[in-house]
Amino acid sequence: MRNWLTGLLIIGLVSIFGCEQQKELKVAVAAPYTGGAAAFGEMIRRGAELKQKEINEAGGINGMKLTLLFEDDAGKGSEASLVAERIASNPQIVAVVGHFNSSCSLAGQKIYDRAGIVELSPGSTAVNVCEGSPWTFRNLYRDDFQGKFIAQYIDNVLTDLESVAVFFDNDDYGRGLRNAFVSEAERIGLNLVASEAYERDSTNFKAQLTSIKSKNPDAIFISGLFQEAGLIVKQGREAGVTAQFFGADGVDSPDFLTIAGSAAEGVYLTTPFTFGAAGAEAKQMAANFEAFHGVAPDTWAALTYDAVGMIAEALEKTYNADAAIADNRTAIREHLASLDTPEEGYKGVTGLTYFDINGDTVNKPAYVKIVKDGQFVAAEKQLLELK
Protein backbone atom coordinates (compact mmCIF):
# COMPACT_ATOMS: atom_id res chain seq x y z
CA MET A 1 0.00 0.00 0.00
CA ARG A 2 2.71 2.45 1.02
CA ASN A 3 4.91 1.58 -1.93
CA TRP A 4 2.03 2.03 -4.24
CA LEU A 5 1.28 5.48 -2.78
CA THR A 6 4.93 6.53 -3.00
CA GLY A 7 5.07 5.39 -6.59
CA LEU A 8 2.00 7.41 -7.44
CA LEU A 9 3.47 10.44 -5.71
CA ILE A 10 6.70 10.16 -7.69
CA ILE A 11 4.84 9.80 -10.96
CA GLY A 12 2.72 12.80 -10.03
CA LEU A 13 5.71 14.96 -9.14
CA VAL A 14 7.65 13.97 -12.23
CA SER A 15 4.71 14.80 -14.45
CA ILE A 16 4.18 18.18 -12.76
CA PHE A 17 7.82 19.22 -13.01
CA GLY A 18 8.17 17.68 -16.43
CA CYS A 19 5.27 19.72 -17.73
CA GLU A 20 6.43 22.90 -16.07
CA GLN A 21 9.85 22.74 -17.61
CA GLN A 22 8.35 22.57 -21.04
CA LYS A 23 5.72 25.20 -20.52
CA GLU A 24 7.72 27.86 -18.73
CA LEU A 25 10.60 30.09 -19.77
CA LYS A 26 12.30 31.85 -16.89
CA VAL A 27 14.00 35.23 -17.21
CA ALA A 28 15.54 37.04 -14.24
CA VAL A 29 14.93 40.78 -13.80
CA ALA A 30 17.69 42.07 -11.49
CA ALA A 31 17.29 45.60 -10.13
CA PRO A 32 17.36 47.59 -6.87
CA TYR A 33 13.98 46.79 -5.31
CA THR A 34 15.14 48.03 -1.89
CA GLY A 35 17.61 50.72 -0.81
CA GLY A 36 18.12 54.26 -2.05
CA ALA A 37 17.35 53.46 -5.69
CA ALA A 38 14.20 51.40 -4.87
CA ALA A 39 11.99 53.86 -6.75
CA PHE A 40 13.81 52.90 -9.96
CA GLY A 41 13.41 49.20 -9.15
CA GLU A 42 9.69 49.63 -8.62
CA MET A 43 9.24 51.07 -12.12
CA ILE A 44 11.49 48.41 -13.64
CA ARG A 45 9.34 45.70 -12.06
CA ARG A 46 6.15 47.30 -13.33
CA GLY A 47 7.47 47.70 -16.87
CA ALA A 48 8.61 44.08 -16.94
CA GLU A 49 5.29 42.86 -15.54
CA LEU A 50 3.32 44.66 -18.22
CA LYS A 51 5.37 43.10 -21.03
CA GLN A 52 5.09 39.68 -19.38
CA LYS A 53 1.33 40.01 -19.14
CA GLU A 54 1.02 41.08 -22.78
CA ILE A 55 3.22 38.23 -24.00
CA ASN A 56 1.41 35.59 -21.99
CA GLU A 57 -2.04 36.88 -22.93
CA ALA A 58 -1.04 36.67 -26.58
CA GLY A 59 -0.26 32.97 -26.15
CA GLY A 60 3.25 33.13 -24.69
CA ILE A 61 6.50 32.44 -26.51
CA ASN A 62 5.82 29.63 -29.01
CA GLY A 63 3.15 28.40 -26.61
CA MET A 64 5.44 28.56 -23.56
CA LYS A 65 4.67 30.85 -20.67
CA LEU A 66 7.14 33.62 -19.80
CA THR A 67 7.94 33.74 -16.07
CA LEU A 68 9.94 36.61 -14.57
CA LEU A 69 12.03 36.21 -11.42
CA PHE A 70 12.65 39.52 -9.67
CA GLU A 71 16.05 39.53 -7.97
CA ASP A 72 16.98 42.39 -5.64
CA ASP A 73 20.54 43.79 -5.80
CA ALA A 74 19.71 46.76 -3.51
CA GLY A 75 21.75 49.00 -5.83
CA LYS A 76 24.99 47.64 -4.37
CA GLY A 77 27.74 45.87 -6.26
CA SER A 78 28.34 43.42 -3.42
CA GLU A 79 24.69 42.32 -3.43
CA ALA A 80 24.69 42.17 -7.23
CA SER A 81 27.48 39.56 -7.15
CA LEU A 82 25.44 37.36 -4.84
CA VAL A 83 22.32 37.74 -6.97
CA ALA A 84 24.33 36.96 -10.11
CA GLU A 85 25.71 33.76 -8.58
CA ARG A 86 22.19 32.67 -7.68
CA ILE A 87 20.89 33.41 -11.18
CA ALA A 88 23.80 31.83 -13.04
CA SER A 89 23.56 28.62 -11.00
CA ASN A 90 19.84 28.23 -11.65
CA PRO A 91 19.62 26.01 -14.75
CA GLN A 92 16.08 27.18 -15.50
CA ILE A 93 16.96 30.83 -16.09
CA VAL A 94 17.74 31.57 -19.73
CA ALA A 95 18.67 35.27 -19.59
CA VAL A 96 18.93 38.33 -17.33
CA VAL A 97 17.30 41.73 -17.78
CA GLY A 98 19.37 44.07 -15.60
CA HIS A 99 21.12 45.31 -13.64
CA PHE A 100 20.18 48.93 -13.21
CA ASN A 101 23.12 50.64 -11.46
CA SER A 102 26.32 50.56 -13.51
CA SER A 103 28.31 49.30 -10.53
CA CYS A 104 25.86 46.38 -10.22
CA SER A 105 26.00 45.52 -13.92
CA LEU A 106 29.79 45.46 -13.69
CA ALA A 107 29.80 43.33 -10.54
CA GLY A 108 27.34 40.85 -12.07
CA GLN A 109 29.18 40.80 -15.38
CA LYS A 110 32.11 38.69 -14.14
CA ILE A 111 29.75 35.96 -13.05
CA TYR A 112 27.44 36.06 -16.08
CA ASP A 113 30.48 36.03 -18.33
CA ARG A 114 31.81 32.87 -16.66
CA ALA A 115 28.42 31.17 -16.70
CA GLY A 116 27.63 32.25 -20.25
CA ILE A 117 24.32 34.04 -19.75
CA VAL A 118 23.12 37.27 -21.33
CA GLU A 119 22.89 40.44 -19.22
CA LEU A 120 20.74 43.09 -20.92
CA SER A 121 20.71 46.31 -18.91
CA PRO A 122 17.86 48.81 -19.23
CA GLY A 123 19.63 51.43 -17.10
CA SER A 124 23.42 51.22 -16.81
CA THR A 125 25.08 54.08 -18.65
CA ALA A 126 28.69 53.95 -17.39
CA VAL A 127 31.02 53.86 -20.39
CA ASN A 128 32.79 50.57 -19.71
CA VAL A 129 29.75 48.40 -18.89
CA CYS A 130 29.54 46.52 -22.20
CA GLU A 131 33.21 46.51 -23.20
CA GLY A 132 34.18 43.93 -20.61
CA SER A 133 32.08 41.01 -21.77
CA PRO A 134 30.47 39.67 -24.95
CA TRP A 135 27.49 38.70 -22.77
CA THR A 136 26.60 42.24 -21.67
CA PHE A 137 24.23 44.44 -23.71
CA ARG A 138 22.24 47.58 -22.99
CA ASN A 139 19.39 49.32 -24.73
CA LEU A 140 20.26 52.91 -23.90
CA TYR A 141 23.06 55.42 -24.47
CA ARG A 142 26.40 55.66 -22.67
CA ASP A 143 27.52 58.38 -20.29
CA ASP A 144 30.23 59.67 -22.61
CA PHE A 145 27.45 60.50 -25.05
CA GLN A 146 25.22 61.85 -22.30
CA GLY A 147 27.95 64.01 -20.71
CA LYS A 148 28.88 65.41 -24.10
CA PHE A 149 25.24 66.03 -24.90
CA ILE A 150 24.61 67.99 -21.69
CA ALA A 151 27.67 70.19 -22.22
CA GLN A 152 26.57 70.96 -25.80
CA TYR A 153 22.98 71.60 -24.74
CA ILE A 154 24.08 74.13 -22.15
CA ASP A 155 26.45 75.73 -24.65
CA ASN A 156 24.17 75.81 -27.71
CA VAL A 157 20.61 75.96 -26.38
CA LEU A 158 20.84 77.62 -22.96
CA THR A 159 23.16 80.27 -24.33
CA ASP A 160 22.83 82.73 -21.44
CA LEU A 161 24.54 80.25 -19.10
CA GLU A 162 28.24 80.93 -19.35
CA SER A 163 29.86 79.30 -16.33
CA VAL A 164 29.13 75.86 -14.90
CA ALA A 165 29.96 73.88 -11.78
CA VAL A 166 29.80 70.09 -11.47
CA PHE A 167 28.57 68.37 -8.33
CA PHE A 168 29.11 64.64 -8.65
CA ASP A 169 28.43 61.36 -6.88
CA ASN A 170 31.77 59.75 -6.10
CA ASP A 171 30.98 56.35 -7.71
CA ASP A 172 31.32 54.69 -11.15
CA TYR A 173 28.29 56.44 -12.61
CA GLY A 174 28.83 59.89 -11.15
CA ARG A 175 32.53 60.05 -11.93
CA GLY A 176 32.20 58.66 -15.45
CA LEU A 177 29.47 61.11 -16.39
CA ARG A 178 31.36 63.99 -14.82
CA ASN A 179 34.53 63.14 -16.77
CA ALA A 180 32.62 63.05 -20.05
CA PHE A 181 30.94 66.37 -19.25
CA VAL A 182 34.16 68.07 -18.17
CA SER A 183 36.21 67.00 -21.19
CA GLU A 184 33.50 68.18 -23.59
CA ALA A 185 33.09 71.45 -21.67
CA GLU A 186 36.82 72.05 -22.02
CA ARG A 187 36.71 71.22 -25.71
CA ILE A 188 33.90 73.64 -26.54
CA GLY A 189 35.10 76.32 -24.16
CA LEU A 190 32.37 76.24 -21.54
CA ASN A 191 33.73 77.94 -18.44
CA LEU A 192 34.03 75.35 -15.65
CA VAL A 193 34.38 77.11 -12.29
CA ALA A 194 34.03 74.32 -9.69
CA SER A 195 33.92 70.56 -9.35
CA GLU A 196 32.76 69.11 -6.02
CA ALA A 197 32.11 65.53 -4.94
CA TYR A 198 29.67 63.90 -2.54
CA GLU A 199 29.20 60.39 -1.16
CA ARG A 200 26.27 58.15 -2.10
CA ASP A 201 23.57 58.26 0.60
CA SER A 202 24.75 61.63 1.91
CA THR A 203 21.90 63.80 3.11
CA ASN A 204 23.64 67.04 3.96
CA PHE A 205 25.18 69.01 1.12
CA LYS A 206 25.43 72.47 2.65
CA ALA A 207 29.22 72.48 2.91
CA GLN A 208 29.79 71.73 -0.78
CA LEU A 209 26.91 74.00 -1.86
CA THR A 210 28.36 76.90 0.10
CA SER A 211 31.69 76.29 -1.57
CA ILE A 212 30.08 76.13 -5.05
CA LYS A 213 28.00 79.24 -4.33
CA SER A 214 31.14 81.27 -3.61
CA LYS A 215 32.29 80.62 -7.21
CA ASN A 216 29.02 82.03 -8.64
CA PRO A 217 28.33 79.56 -11.47
CA ASP A 218 25.38 80.20 -13.85
CA ALA A 219 24.58 76.47 -13.92
CA ILE A 220 25.23 73.48 -11.68
CA PHE A 221 25.34 70.05 -13.28
CA ILE A 222 24.46 67.30 -10.76
CA SER A 223 26.07 64.04 -11.84
CA GLY A 224 24.25 61.60 -9.57
CA LEU A 225 20.98 59.98 -8.57
CA PHE A 226 17.58 61.46 -7.72
CA GLN A 227 17.63 60.96 -3.96
CA GLU A 228 20.76 63.05 -3.45
CA ALA A 229 19.90 65.39 -6.34
CA GLY A 230 16.50 66.16 -4.79
CA LEU A 231 18.14 67.22 -1.55
CA ILE A 232 20.90 69.14 -3.35
CA VAL A 233 18.34 71.23 -5.24
CA LYS A 234 16.26 71.76 -2.09
CA GLN A 235 19.19 72.65 0.16
CA GLY A 236 20.75 74.74 -2.60
CA ARG A 237 17.67 76.95 -2.94
CA GLU A 238 17.52 77.24 0.86
CA ALA A 239 21.15 78.36 0.95
CA GLY A 240 20.58 81.06 -1.66
CA VAL A 241 21.86 79.30 -4.79
CA THR A 242 20.19 80.85 -7.87
CA ALA A 243 22.10 78.85 -10.51
CA GLN A 244 20.25 76.73 -13.08
CA PHE A 245 20.35 73.07 -11.98
CA PHE A 246 20.90 70.42 -14.62
CA GLY A 247 20.68 66.66 -14.03
CA ALA A 248 21.10 63.49 -16.06
CA ASP A 249 19.12 60.25 -16.36
CA GLY A 250 19.88 59.33 -12.72
CA VAL A 251 17.61 62.17 -11.65
CA ASP A 252 14.78 60.98 -13.87
CA SER A 253 12.38 59.68 -11.22
CA PRO A 254 9.07 61.03 -9.89
CA ASP A 255 10.64 60.78 -6.42
CA PHE A 256 12.99 63.60 -7.38
CA LEU A 257 9.96 65.88 -7.52
CA THR A 258 8.66 64.87 -4.09
CA ILE A 259 12.06 65.19 -2.43
CA ALA A 260 12.94 68.57 -3.94
CA GLY A 261 9.39 69.96 -3.61
CA SER A 262 8.91 73.45 -5.00
CA ALA A 263 12.68 73.82 -5.48
CA ALA A 264 12.48 71.33 -8.38
CA GLU A 265 10.78 73.93 -10.57
CA GLY A 266 12.76 74.70 -13.72
CA VAL A 267 15.38 71.94 -13.29
CA TYR A 268 16.58 70.49 -16.60
CA LEU A 269 17.58 66.86 -17.09
CA THR A 270 18.51 64.47 -19.89
CA THR A 271 16.86 61.12 -20.37
CA PRO A 272 17.19 58.26 -22.84
CA PHE A 273 13.45 58.37 -23.51
CA THR A 274 10.46 60.56 -22.82
CA PHE A 275 6.82 59.84 -23.48
CA GLY A 276 6.31 63.50 -24.34
CA ALA A 277 8.37 63.14 -27.52
CA ALA A 278 7.42 59.54 -28.38
CA GLY A 279 5.29 57.84 -31.03
CA ALA A 280 1.85 56.29 -30.98
CA GLU A 281 3.05 52.86 -29.83
CA ALA A 282 4.60 54.39 -26.73
CA LYS A 283 1.38 56.29 -25.97
CA GLN A 284 -0.55 53.05 -26.25
CA MET A 285 1.93 51.34 -23.91
CA ALA A 286 1.59 54.22 -21.44
CA ALA A 287 -2.21 53.85 -21.46
CA ASN A 288 -1.99 50.07 -20.91
CA PHE A 289 0.56 50.62 -18.14
CA GLU A 290 -1.68 53.06 -16.35
CA ALA A 291 -4.66 50.74 -16.63
CA PHE A 292 -2.60 47.83 -15.25
CA HIS A 293 -0.63 49.57 -12.47
CA GLY A 294 -2.64 52.70 -11.70
CA VAL A 295 0.35 55.01 -12.18
CA ALA A 296 1.99 56.55 -15.23
CA PRO A 297 5.14 54.80 -16.54
CA ASP A 298 8.54 56.47 -16.52
CA THR A 299 11.66 56.12 -18.66
CA TRP A 300 12.88 53.00 -16.86
CA ALA A 301 9.56 51.20 -17.11
CA ALA A 302 9.63 51.80 -20.87
CA LEU A 303 13.24 50.67 -21.31
CA THR A 304 12.63 47.54 -19.24
CA TYR A 305 9.46 46.85 -21.20
CA ASP A 306 11.57 46.87 -24.36
CA ALA A 307 14.40 44.83 -22.82
CA VAL A 308 11.97 42.06 -21.83
CA GLY A 309 10.52 42.28 -25.33
CA MET A 310 13.96 41.81 -26.88
CA ILE A 311 14.69 38.74 -24.77
CA ALA A 312 11.25 37.34 -25.61
CA GLU A 313 11.90 37.86 -29.31
CA ALA A 314 15.27 36.12 -29.00
CA LEU A 315 13.60 33.19 -27.22
CA GLU A 316 10.90 32.98 -29.83
CA LYS A 317 13.47 32.72 -32.61
CA THR A 318 16.07 30.53 -30.96
CA TYR A 319 14.69 28.52 -28.04
CA ASN A 320 14.94 24.76 -28.42
CA ALA A 321 13.30 22.76 -25.66
CA ASP A 322 15.46 19.73 -26.38
CA ALA A 323 18.79 21.57 -26.29
CA ALA A 324 20.95 22.00 -23.18
CA ILE A 325 20.50 25.16 -21.14
CA ALA A 326 24.00 26.39 -22.04
CA ASP A 327 23.15 26.18 -25.75
CA ASN A 328 19.92 28.04 -25.27
CA ARG A 329 21.71 30.77 -23.31
CA THR A 330 24.31 31.03 -26.08
CA ALA A 331 21.65 31.20 -28.77
CA ILE A 332 20.13 34.27 -27.09
CA ARG A 333 23.50 35.99 -27.13
CA GLU A 334 24.03 35.13 -30.79
CA HIS A 335 20.63 36.53 -31.63
CA LEU A 336 21.22 39.83 -29.79
CA ALA A 337 24.69 40.17 -31.33
CA SER A 338 23.16 39.72 -34.79
CA LEU A 339 21.04 42.87 -34.31
CA ASP A 340 23.82 45.09 -35.63
CA THR A 341 22.20 47.21 -38.33
CA PRO A 342 19.22 49.59 -38.25
CA GLU A 343 17.31 47.17 -40.50
CA GLU A 344 17.71 44.27 -38.11
CA GLY A 345 17.29 46.30 -34.91
CA TYR A 346 14.49 45.76 -32.42
CA LYS A 347 11.70 48.27 -32.78
CA GLY A 348 10.27 48.97 -29.36
CA VAL A 349 8.41 51.81 -27.67
CA THR A 350 11.69 53.59 -26.85
CA GLY A 351 12.76 53.56 -30.47
CA LEU A 352 15.11 51.42 -32.54
CA THR A 353 17.71 49.38 -30.66
CA TYR A 354 20.71 47.81 -32.36
CA PHE A 355 24.15 47.02 -31.07
CA ASP A 356 27.77 47.67 -31.97
CA ILE A 357 30.49 45.09 -31.50
CA ASN A 358 30.63 45.71 -27.72
CA GLY A 359 26.89 45.35 -27.15
CA ASP A 360 26.40 49.10 -26.75
CA THR A 361 23.31 50.61 -28.31
CA VAL A 362 24.14 52.87 -31.22
CA ASN A 363 22.41 56.07 -32.34
CA LYS A 364 19.69 56.27 -29.71
CA PRO A 365 19.06 59.96 -29.02
CA ALA A 366 18.94 61.82 -25.71
CA TYR A 367 16.00 64.01 -24.77
CA VAL A 368 15.81 66.99 -22.45
CA LYS A 369 13.05 67.41 -19.89
CA ILE A 370 12.25 70.30 -17.59
CA VAL A 371 10.21 70.45 -14.40
CA LYS A 372 7.15 72.62 -14.92
CA ASP A 373 4.38 73.03 -12.33
CA GLY A 374 5.69 70.00 -10.45
CA GLN A 375 5.74 67.72 -13.52
CA PHE A 376 8.39 66.52 -15.95
CA VAL A 377 7.65 67.83 -19.45
CA ALA A 378 9.71 67.69 -22.64
CA ALA A 379 11.80 70.86 -22.93
CA GLU A 380 10.76 73.28 -25.65
CA LYS A 381 14.05 73.03 -27.49
CA GLN A 382 15.63 69.62 -28.05
CA LEU A 383 19.12 69.09 -29.39
CA LEU A 384 18.88 66.44 -32.05
CA GLU A 385 22.42 66.24 -33.33
CA LEU A 386 25.74 66.59 -31.62
CA LYS A 387 28.59 68.50 -33.15
Please report, as ranges, the residues that interact with other proteins according to CB under 8 A.
Answer: 34-35, 38-39, 170, 196-199, 201-208, 210-211, 214, 227, 230-231, 234-235, 237-242, 255, 258-259, 261-263, 266
State the minimum distance, in angstroms, from the CB of residue 331 to other proteins.
38
Contact 358, 350 (CB under 8 A): no
How many whole angstroms separate alpha carbon 146 and alpha carbon 178? 10
In the bound state with other proteins, the residue whose beta carbon lies nearer, of 67 and 170, is 170
Cβ burial of 344 (10 Å; 0-12, 13-18, 19+) is: exposed
CA dihedral 216, 257, 33, 68 (to 10 degrees): -120
State the minimum distance, in angstroms, from the CB of residue 31 to other proteins.
14
In the bound state with other proteins, the residue whose beta carbon lies nearer, of 207 and 287, is 207
In the bound state with other proteins, the residue whose beta carbon lies nearer, of 133 and 227, is 227
Exposure letters 309-326 (e unless 16+ CB within 10 A, then b):
bbbbbbbeebbeeeeeee
State the minimum distance, in angstroms, from the CB of residue 164 to other proteins.
17
State the minimum distance, in angstroms, from the CB of residue 254 to other proteins.
11
State the minimum distance, in angstroms, from the CB of residue 7 to other proteins.
46
Contact 248, 150 (CB under 8 A): yes
Report the 10 Å Cβ neighbour count for 81.
Answer: 18
What is the helix, strand, coil percentage profile of the chain, to 5? 50, 20, 35
State the minimum distance, in angstroms, from the CB of residue 200 to other proteins.
10
In the bound state with other proteins, the residue whose beta carbon lies nearer, of 34 and 284, is 34
State the minimum distance, in angstroms, from the CB of residue 93 to other proteins.
27
In the bound state with other proteins, the residue whose beta carbon lies nearer, of 247 and 309, is 247
Positive or negative CA dihedral for 346, 350, 352, 356?
negative
Closest CA to 242 of 165, 325, 129, 149: 165
State the minimum distance, in angstroms, from the CB of residue 386 to other proteins.
29
How many whole angstroms separate alpha carbon 200 and alpha carbon 250? 12
In the bound state with other proteins, the residue whose beta carbon lies nearer, of 13 and 239, is 239
State the minimum distance, in angstroms, from the CB of residue 161 to other proteins.
14
How many whole angstroms separate alpha carbon 343 and alpha carbon 349? 16
Contact 330, 115 (CB under 8 A): no
In the bound state with other proteins, the residue whose beta carbon lies nearer, of 38 and 193, is 38
* E strands in 99-240: 119-121, 136-138, 163-169, 191-198, 219-223
Closest CA to 102 of 83, 82, 78, 77: 77
In the bound state with other proteins, the residue whose beta carbon lies nearer, of 227 and 299, is 227
In the bound state with other proteins, the residue whose beta carbon lies nearer, of 96 and 259, is 259
How many whole angstroms separate alpha carbon 324 and alpha carbon 347? 29
